[in-house]
Amino acid sequence: MITPEQQEKLRGWFAGRLPDDLFEALSEVTADREEITVIGRIPEPRLAAGLPAAEREAAVEGRIQEFRERTRETRIEVAREAEHRFRRKVSWGVECGAERALFTHVAAPVMTRLRQPERQVLDTLVAAGVARSRSDALAWCVRLVRRHTDDWLGELRDSLAQVQRVRDRGPDAVLPDTGEDDEAPERE
């Protein structure tokens, strides 16, 4: 897990490094041990009022595809620099209107041990056609939990950040160098 300070540095680096005209706004920069995901807002297509929903949806999809193709080389160049600097893969996404689209991103394997009752849940999801495999079913479960517990997970992340701040001030923390010896002078 990265600290809030590391998160701020990542966002700051991308805000400074990205060309000004790439996004209307930098919406989100998130990271874990394997990946940095950068999401920016792009302009919606200008459409006449009263268009059918299907036409609007297709126009937004087309705008996202156009952006992806047009900016590919720029995004690759920035990603290479970031991957070298931060030692993580970089993935990209956009927001256009109410739509959010992620481009190619990391699907990191996660090892886990499940007992039979948990495996039966996954097997039921596979048998019902909700998921193609146990792995897909587990990912589906994680997405479902995330969707329904965002507030709780946010509080948990805030608590972890507070724990890290307290650890950073602990007895093993590196103190600023004042130029003086850390130990009291010896007396004879």
Domain boundaries defined on the chain:
1-108, 109-171
Banded pLDDT at 164 (limits 50, 70, 90): confident
Give the span between the Cα atoms of 60 and 45, in whole angstroms. Answer: 6
- Give the pLDDT confidence score for residue 184 in this predicted structure: 44
Task: State what percent of residues in the chain have pLDDT above 90.
Answer: 55
* Positive or negative torsion for Cα 11, 12, 16, 21: positive
- The pLDDT-based confidence of 176 (bands split at 50, 70, 90) is low
pLDDT in tens, 11-55: 999 999 999 999 999 999 999 888 999 999 999 999 888 889 899
Q: What share of the chain is helix, strand, coil (3-state, %, to 5)?
A: 50, 15, 35
Reply yes or no on whether the pLDDT at 183 is more than 60: no
d(CA 147, CA 116): 25
Residue 45 CA to residue 65 CA, distance in Å, equals 12
Q: Which residues contact 79 (CB under 8 A, 6 or more apart)?
A: 89, 90, 92
Which neighbouring-strand residues pair with 25? Answer: 41
Q: List the Cα angle 63/67/70 in 5-degree steps.
A: 135
Contacts made by residues 77-84, CB under 8 angstroms, sequence distance 24+: 78/14, 78/17, 78/18, 81/17, 82/13, 82/14, 82/17, 82/36
